[in-house]
Structure formats: C-alpha cells, structure tokens
Structure 1
Amino acid sequence: MAFGRTERCSCHNRNNMQRNIRAFSSRSDATAATTSTVATSASPITPRRWWALLICATIAGAGVYLLAVQTAVGQAFENTALRGADQVGASAMDQANIALGHITVWSLGIATLVVGAIGLLRRQPALALAAVAVIVGGQVVTQSLKRYILPRPELVPVSGSFTENSFPSGHTTIAMTVMVAIFLVVPYRVRGLAMMLTMGWAAGIGAYTITAKWHRLSDTVGADLVALALGCAAAVVLHHLGKLKRVEDRPKARLVVVVVMTLLTISALVLGTILASAAATYSLHDPVIEWDVYLSAHAFSLSASWGVALIFWWSWRGIEVG
C-alpha cells in the first residue's frame, strides 16, 4: 500500500512539473512575441530626412540668390521694398534698430557659451559641440558667401547702400542658428517651450533687418536656409555618433504651438503673395506700391523663418538626443 501511494505521488509530481514547463514555455513565447512586436514598431532612425532637407536647403538657397540677386526683376522688387521702409514710423524704426543692436559679438559669444553649457550639463559633450558648431559655422558660411563668393551685379539703376552685397544676412543667420542650437541641446520635454520662445524672436530679427534697411528679403531667406542646412548637418553627425533615440511621449501642448505657428506661417505667406501680386501691375516707383511691396517683403520674411523652423522641428518628430 505504501508503494502504491508513493507511485501515485510520483506520477502527480511529474504531471505538475510538465504543466509548469508548458506554462513557462507559453509565457516565454508570449514575451518573445511582445518583444518582437515592440522592436518592429520602433523603426530604426535613419538620416535620410536630414540629408534630403540639407540638399533641398542648398538648392533653394541657390535659387533665391539667382532669382533675387542675379535678375533685374528681383533686384527691382527688393529695392522697392527698401524704399517702402522709408515710410515706417519713427517708433517702429527705433524698435527695429534696438532689436538689431542687441546682436553683437558679445551677445553672440554669450549665447554660444549658454548653448554649450546646456549640452555639457546634460553630460552630452558631442551634443554641445554640434550645437556650438551650428552657431559658429553659420557665421563662417554666411560671411564667406557674402564677402567672397556671391557677387551682386548692378542690373538696375541704384545708388548708395543699395549696391552693396548682403546675401545672406549675418544678423538673421545668428538668430536662426541660435534657435536651431537651442532646439538641439534642450531636453525633449521642454522642446516645445524652447521653440515657442525662440521662433518669434528669430523671425522678428529677419523682418527687422528689412524695416531698418539693413538687408533685403532674399538676404533673410538665404540666412534661414543656411541655418536649416547646418541644423540638418548637425543631426546627421549626431546620428552617425549613435546619439539619437525615439521617444513616445508627445505632449498635447506642443501640438497647440505647432498648429498656431503653422497658421501664422500660412497667413503671412498668403498676405505677402496678395500684396506682391497686386503691386506687380503698377509702377514700382509709386509711394503706395513701395509701401505694399515693403509689407509683402516683411510678410514673406516672417513666413520663411517660421516655415524653416517648423520644417526642422518636424524632422525631429519623436526623436531626441539620448
């Protein structure tokens, strides 16, 4: 009898062990399937988007230069906008000069140090170096293009400072590259706040250069594209170093900022197009038309800066430096 009980107990233990093995195997298969699903859904990050944007920015910059600087029509339009700026009120002109006057070698140096410090505080020396390189590289590229590479032929009768070459704008390049660098170094969770604070300022600097008659519209657009190209180059480098990762957290407040800025960009673009189209049928030397062309250039400048910022922001959707 004792032997029989022992035999039944052994069989019972074997059955329990087999059930445990099958249950463990099922759990392992489920875990493996879940892991496989997560790995499949998190697609690898590729630098193709930034390479494409870099190439497009370069081609667009060349196109803006050829159309606005190397054609009589482009020069006449931009000179008309600068003449229209003479009708700006004294307070608006003072505001533009004060805002532009704040951009100095000292303020640029401080901004560069702050950007680098944020990257180092995040224990990301490569990120800090890449962001600083965007700001410094922006001035190297802009000053080289403006002073040595891109001439401005005299295709229309003008006098004074209108004959000087100023493509691209150094001030706009500083503002836009600082915005891009801040975007790169701040943590993902505050990226929307950083863009909300810097996009308006950077776009305003570009528009102010037209108001103060420091630069033409094409100069500001060219500077926007220089900043976009350098930002994309920095992204490619960070990807090559394996510094990028995907994130799932996407705050709804950030979507509100994107929607509002997109609507403002489209509105400025539409307004600029309407004003420019209306002025095209009249003499560009009429004071009313000069004012309309100035407003058109101002609106185009804002839309270009905001548009470039939104495009660069989109290219980083769901991606951060980690």
Structure 2
Amino acid sequence: MNYRRWPVVAAAGFVFAAVVYVLAVLTRTGQTIENAALRGVDQDDVSETDAAWAALGQITVYSLAAAVLAVALVGVLRKRWDLTVAAVSVIVAGQLVVQVLKRFVLPRPALVEVTGDYAHNSLPSGHTTIAMTVLFAAVIVVPWKWRGVMLFFVLPWATAIGQYTLTAKWHRLSDTLAADGIALAVAALASLWLQRKGSLQVYDGPRRVGRVVLVVFWSLVAAVSLVLGVILWGVPLARQGLDADEWVVYLGAGSFASAGSLIAALTFLACWRRIG
C-alpha cells in the first residue's frame, strides 16, 4: 500500500495554517471581520456562553495529563509501544508547536483600532489543538474494531471545542482553523514515522456498518456547516461590506469553525481507513 499520503497531508495542514494566518491576521479585512465576530458573541444567549465556558474549563493541565495517560494505557494494553509513542507524541508535540508559534513567533500587527483582549495574538488555539490531537491520538492507538465506538464519543466533543472557543470569546475563528491544520499536520507526521517503521497494519476484516453511518453523518454535517458559513458570510458581506451585522458574522464564524474541525478529523480518518 502506498503511504505517500502522509507527507502530503502534513504539508497541506501546515500550508493551510499559514494561509489562515496571512489572510486573517496580516490583513485589515481579516482582522475587521474576526473582531466583528467576537463582538457578535455579545448577542448570544447567556446559557450558550456559560456552556462554552464550562466545556473549556474542563480542559486543564490535569485533564490533559489524564487524556495522555488514557491514550498511553490503550497502547500498553495492546502491547504496541510504537503506537503509544506516536499517539502521545501527537498530543505533546501539538502543544509545543502551537505555544511556541503563539507566544514567540507569530506577531499580530495593529492594522485596525482595537483595545483590550482584541489586540493580543491568540493564534493558534491551544484548546482546539488539545481537542484535535487527543482525537487523532485516539485514532492512532485504538484498535480498528473499536474505533467507531471511540469516534462516537470523542469526535463530537473535539468538534465542539473549536466553536466553544469562539462562543466564550477565548479565540478567533483563525485561531481555531490554524490549530486544526497544525494538529492534522503533526498527526500525519507521526503516522509517517509509524509507516517508515513498518508499524501500520492493514485490516482486512468485514466493514463496520455503524462506523460507516457515523462517518457519513459527520461528513454531511461538515458539508452543511461549510455551506452555511459561506452563506452567512457571503451574502451580508457582499451587500453591506465590512459593516455587516456582527451577529450574523459570528454565526458564520461558528459554522466555519465546526466545518474546519470536522474536515480535519475526517481527513485523518480517511488516511487511517482500514489501518489498525
């Protein structure tokens, strides 16, 4: 089997993150739209904001350590040290990359007049990276026959975190999208390492119907979210320009955030199809 997909996916993830940064952070239009989306959050229902804060508040150093231990435990129980190292490395490396980029590498020039939290750089999102790398690590380490069960529980959570970061006003859309791309790239590089070690085994058993239904469902959700985001941004921005309704801009950003996380997740799943 040809595994040249991994370098391609890794490169695509990093390039996507770079393009998002350039368009959203290094342009006046990008900063204006994203700031409008953040202001639009103020019109959201308080219960939605509280739910977002509660979900994000559960991601702590301790919960991250627990996730790493859980992933490692699965690999140890399978006696697959190679998968264990790769899966844990995805989570750890993902955080190292995004924290270095956010804190030391990527500047946020003052292209529009803002004050307070709107002025500092928050790209890429650490919380989104945690959610996505935990999902990717689980895909790597969980056996093929149990992967569908894992996806049922972890995929909705990982996807929701990206949108929650917007609802809680912790991050901008670009932060979440860049994190999706970086997490995907890091996971692809770990998969490439496994492939070069000869650790990837092809599963030739029967198709899991439940998993197929699950993937098709989330693919439809991703498509709908993407189209909805295009409509919510395209129509008002075309008619009103940068003066478009901030609530609508926020709703569009949320749709794009969900679509971005789902597309990244489904891309990695497609690469790991029938690999156990």
Tell me if TM exceeds 0.5: yes
Aligned with 1:282 (options 240, 245, 259): 240
Aligned with 1:209 (options 131, 155, 165): 165
Give the AA of the match of 1:151: P
| Matched-pair contact (CA < 8 Å) for 1:61–1:222 | yes
State the distance in 1 between where 2:60 and 2:273 align.
33
| Per-residue deviation, 1:285 | 4.8
Q: Confirm or deny that 1:318 pairs with 2:269.
A: no
Q: Confirm or deny that 1:74 pairs with 2:30.
A: yes
State the distance in 1 between where 2:275 and 2:129 align.
25
Q: Which residue of 1 aligns with 2:213?
A: 256
TM-score (norm 1): 0.83
TM-score (norm 2): 0.97
Give the AA of the match of 1:282: Q
Task: Summarize deviations over 1:238-294 as a string: whole Å, max 9, x none.
Answer: 1111111211222111110111001000000000000001221215456xx100000
Give the AA of the match of 1:251: R
Give the AA of the match of 1:60: F
Identity of aligned residues (%): 47
SS at match of 1:131: helix
| Per-residue deviation, 1:195 | 1.6
Structure 2 unaligned regions, length at least 5? none
State the distance in 2 between where 1:267 and 1:248 align.
32
Q: Which residue of 2 aligns with 1:9?
A: none
Q: Confirm or deny that 1:200 pairs with 2:156.
A: yes
Q: Which residue of 2 aligns with 1:306?
A: 262
Q: Mapping of 1:112-261 within 5 angstroms? A: 112-249=68-205, 250-261=207-218
Aligned with 2:49 (options 93, 98, 104): 93
| Per-residue deviation, 1:78 | 0.4
| Per-residue deviation, 1:196 | 2.3
Higher RCO (CA-CA < 8 Å; seq separation 6+)? 2
Give the AA of the match of 2:227: V
Give the AA of the match of 1:259: V
State the distance in 2 between where 1:312 and 1:217 align.
21
| Matched-pair contact (CA < 8 Å) for 1:115–1:131 | yes
State the distance in 2 between where 1:192 and 1:314 align.
13
| Matched-pair contact (CA < 8 Å) for 1:284–1:290 | no
Give the AA of the match of 2:157: W
Q: Confirm or deny that 1:46 pairs with 2:9.
A: no
Greater gyration radius: 1
SS at match of 2:201: strand
Aligned with 2:251 (options 287, 295, 299): 295
Aligned with 2:222 (options 265, 268, 285): 265
Alpha-carbon RMSD across the aligned residues, in angstroms, is 1.0
SS at match of 1:213: coil
State the distance in 2 between where 1:94 and 1:60 align.
31
